[in-house]
């Protein structure tokens, strides 16, 4: 499939004919509809499904919700479900949205596993370094037995996960030097999320981890408070971090996943045929979200390279060096105690295979 230009993805999302151009084939639907409205019936819907998220409408995830999930569910339910997508943090932050699912004031939230771990601690396993070796590995594991096991207890806290999407692999950018070995990052001041797993990971790598709010990151990098950061390609571009980060190394040390999580009360209120529509629509949307996200990453790497950013792909020796250095993080008792032993052992097998 011919790659869309990044200007189309970032500025003209609502004008894209994505459903017609996507690599992922759409499951059978009724007649085509406008993504902004309910189709297939003129009667009032039986159910309203409010989707809340902190993402932007013109991101890969925003497009997936608006251009794929919404029309799929409305068409295939013959208008019995109306989908109302509210992105851009209109309904609150990630944690607030997950709490709203428990109250059924919001019926679906697209949010990160790191936040979901506040409600189901087993999701902390997803923050462990080098759990997945590639995107394909992450997709296979999260869409299979491992992902199902992680989601198993969510109904007990008022939620139901129907499909996994992605944020990005975390990679390290910096303003000091190209990183081609573990020694190159020694004592480098790297901004990290304020979480025990992230801080422990960077301690193990020999850098100087510096917790800092994301809102302060650009200024911190500009003023030298920190020298590097570890976000994915898309966020590094959209937050303009590349302007003060001339070196970007694909370390891929942590895979950050997002997911479509629903209110269990809403799910139980649906008849079986509509449950299937919502589940199929979620999977369809997330398949396309992953595709769109990868396309964006490719486009934005080219854009940042033209602006002078040097992209470094570490060799196998460096990756193995990082993997070995961070295995100690997996053995920290505070982390192991958060995770069900069966899930922990599954994760170790995934990491080592």
d(CA 236, CA 241): 5
Report the distance separating Cα 132 and Cα 139, nearest Å.
9
- Output the six-digit token pair for 248: 């970007």
Neighbours of 301 (CB within 10 A): 18
What per-residue confidence (pLDDT) applies to 15? 39
pLDDT tens per residue across span 12-70: 443 333 333 444 445 544 333 333 444 444 479 999 999 999 999 999 999 999 999 99
d(CA 308, CA 322): 27
User: Which H or E run includes 49?
Assistant: strand 47-53
If one compares 34 and 314, the residue with the highest pLDDT of the two is 314
Backbone angles phi, psi at 187, to 5 degrees: 65, 5
pTM: 0.86
Write down the pLDDT at residue 90.
96
State residue 196's pLDDT score.
Answer: 86
pLDDT tens-place string over residues 275-293: 999 999 999 999 999 999 9
At 193, the pLDDT band (50, 70, 90 cuts) reads confident
Q: Residue 250's pLDDT band (boundaries 50, 70, 90)?
A: very high
d(CA 217, CA 214): 5
Q: Specify the pLDDT at position 9.
A: 46
Architecture per CATH, domain 6-12+31-167+257-301, reads as 3-Layer(aba) Sandwich (3.40)
Spatial separation of the C-alpha atoms in residues 126 and 350, rounded to whole Å: 11
- Please count the other Cβ atoms lying within 10 Å of the Cβ belonging to residue 33: 17
Contact 40, 33 (CB under 8 A): yes
Question: Is residue 163 pLDDT above 50, yes or no?
Answer: yes
Query: 171-253+307-352, which class in CATH?
Result: alpha beta
Domain positions in the chain: 6-12+31-167+257-301, 171-253+307-352
Nearest partner of 285 among 169, 114, 162, 152, judged by Cα: 162
Q: What is the pLDDT at residue 36?
A: 40
CA atoms within 13 A on the CB side of 20: 7
- What residue spans of the chain are helical by DSSP H? 6-11, 18-21, 60-63, 70-76, 94-103, 113-116, 135-142, 145-151, 196-205, 217-223, 233-238, 264-269, 272-306, 316-330, 333-336, 341-352
**How far are the Cα atoms of 125, 139, 161, 169 from residue 144, in angstroms, in the given order?**
16, 8, 13, 19
Query: Per-residue pLDDT for 2 more than 80?
Result: no
């Amino acid at each position: 499939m011919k790659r869309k230009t990044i200007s189309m993805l970032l500025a003209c999302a609502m004008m894209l004919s994505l459903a017609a151009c996507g690599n992922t084939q759409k499951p059978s639907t009724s007649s085509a509809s406008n993504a902004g409205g309910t189709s297939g019936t003129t009667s009032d819907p039986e159910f309203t499904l409010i989707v809340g998220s902190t993402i932007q409408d013109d991101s890969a995830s925003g497009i997936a919700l608006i251009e794929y999930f919404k029309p799929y569910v409305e068409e295939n339910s013959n208008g019995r479900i109306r989908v109302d997508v509210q992105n851009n943090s209109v309904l609150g932050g990630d944690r607030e949205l997950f709490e709203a699912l428990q109250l059924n004031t919001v019926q679906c939230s697209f949010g990160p596993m790191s936040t979901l771990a506040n409600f189901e601690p087993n999701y902390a396993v997803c923050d462990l370094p080098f759990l997945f070796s590639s995107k394909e590995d992450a997709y296979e594991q999260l869409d299979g037995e491992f992902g199902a096991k992680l989601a198993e207890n969510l109904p007990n806290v008022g939620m139901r996960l129907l499909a996994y999407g992605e944020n990005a692999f975390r990679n390290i950018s910096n303003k000091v030097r190209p990183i081609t070995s573990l020694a190159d990052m020694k004592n480098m001041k790297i901004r990290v999320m304020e979480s025990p797993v992230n801080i422990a990971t960077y301690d193990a790598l020999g850098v100087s981890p510096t917790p800092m709010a994301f809102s302060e990151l650009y200024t911190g990098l500009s003023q030298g408070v920190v020298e590097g950061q570890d976000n994915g390609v898309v966020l590094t571009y959209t937050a303009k971090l590349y302007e003060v980060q001339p070196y970007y190394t694909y370390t891929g040390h942590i895979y950050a996943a997002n997911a479509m999580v629903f209110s269990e009360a809403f799910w139980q209120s649906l008849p079986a045929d509509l449950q299937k529509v919502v589940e199929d629509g979620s999977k369809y949307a997330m398949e396309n979200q992953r595709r769109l996200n990868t396309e964006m990453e490719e486009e934005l790497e080219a854009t940042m390279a033209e602006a002078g950013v040097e992209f470094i792909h570490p060799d196998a020796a460096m990756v193995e060096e990082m993997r070995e250095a961070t295995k100690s993080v997996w053995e920290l008792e505070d982390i192991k105690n958060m995770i069900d032993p069966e899930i922990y052992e599954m994760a170790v097998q995934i990491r080592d295979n």
